């Protein structure tokens, strides 16, 4: 089932001279993980803001084209309904915090939509186990590490049980260990919960390991969308758009140009090892 469809979407902020989005077409099936990449200023954040009603309900501007969530045109759908379907995690988790303890932060949204205590308790147990935040419940959110804050931000959104989870550069403020921790949570969401996910992320090695599909956005347009392995095999197109694949993919891409790499480009060391082993067997 298709959960997202964007048709010829154009958006210009009221104070801007030019359109930020210039005819975007995009689709996403339910249960899939879509990674969106592109250089700075490409329009990635603006694009995801159109999915949960921030555009055009919060930001002023000119919108053309159509955005559908579960077949519903976002401009004809109440923003309350959109936000119940679509959860958004920002790059700066502190921008989402409103409470004095992690537990209060996680239950705040559930109380606001009128869930009973039994359901709140059940969701709290579920989401803290999933995101490994149970030990943080009594702590103030602002005293946590970067990785812990981001896990809490993800947990607070998941507690609302959105049908679509959007993460806007969730690891941009984290160290390497924090990045890996967040992507471990993301991998669990995909494998165990089957949640539909859209992630904007600059760390392509982490993204390539979990995304089903990838989309390249540049200058307000979707340049290319494909399954992850096919996406990264368009090496020259990515480089031309300032997108640098995982290091092992780059290495294989350079070798392929020289005629030394067999077949498709690998996304990780294990794929590269298998392809090299097969080539050596054939050469014997």
Give tens-digit pLDDT for 195-242: 899 999 988 998 998 999 999 999 999 999 999 999 999 989 999 999
Structure tokens of 82? 């959109």
- Give which of 164, 83, 159 is closest to 122, Cα–Cα: 159
CATH 3.40.50.720 fits 2-245, yes or no: no
What local confidence, expressed as pLDDT, does residue 284 receive? 43
The position carrying tokens 């669990």 is: 188
159 vs 162: CA distance, rounded Å = 8
For residue 282, is pLDDT > 60? no
The position carrying tokens 């990045």 is: 179
Q: What are 46-68's pLDDT values in tens digits?
A: 999 999 989 998 999 999 999 99
Q: Within the chain, which residue ranges are assigned CATH 3.40.50.300?
A: 2-245
Other beta carbons within 10 Å of 273 = 12
Q: What are 88-130's pLDDT values in tens digits?
A: 998 888 888 999 999 999 999 999 889 999 999 999 999 999 8
């Amino acid at each position: 089932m298709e959960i997202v469809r964007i048709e010829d979407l154009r958006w210009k902020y009221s104070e801007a001279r030019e359109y930020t989005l210039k005819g975007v077409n995009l689709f996403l099936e339910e249960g899939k993980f879509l990674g969106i990449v592109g250089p700075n200023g490409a329009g990635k954040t603006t694009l995801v803001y159109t999915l949960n009603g921030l555009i055009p309900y919060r930001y002023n501007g000119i919108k053309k084209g159509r955005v559908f969530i579960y077949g519903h045109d976002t401009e004809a759908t109440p923003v309350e309904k959109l936000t119940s379907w679509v959860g958004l995690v920002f790059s700066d988790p502190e921008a989402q915090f409103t409470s004095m303890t992690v537990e209060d932060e996680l239950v705040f949204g559930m109380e606001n939509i009128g869930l009973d205590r039994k359901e709140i308790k059940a969701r709290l147990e579920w989401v803290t186990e999933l995101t490994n935040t149970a030990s943080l419940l009594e702590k103030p959110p602002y005293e946590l590490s970067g990785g812990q804050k981001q896990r809490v931000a993800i947990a607070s959104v998941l507690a609302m049980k959105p049908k679509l989870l959007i993460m806007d550069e969730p690891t941009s403020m984290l160290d390497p260990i924090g990045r890996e921790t967040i992507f471990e949570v993301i991998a669990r969401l995909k494998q165990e919960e089957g949640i539909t996910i859209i992630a904007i992320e600059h760390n392509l090695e982490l993204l390539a390991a979990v995304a089903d599909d990838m989309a390249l956005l540049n200058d307000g347009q979707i340049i290319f969308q494909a399954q992850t392995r096919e996406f990264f095999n368009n090496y020259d197109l990515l480089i031309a758009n300032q997108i640098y694949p995982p290091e092992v993919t780059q290495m294989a891409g350079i070798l392929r140009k020289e005629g030394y790499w067999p077949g498709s480009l690998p996304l990780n060391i294990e794929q590269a090892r298998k392809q090299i082993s097969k080539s050596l067997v054939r050469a014997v």
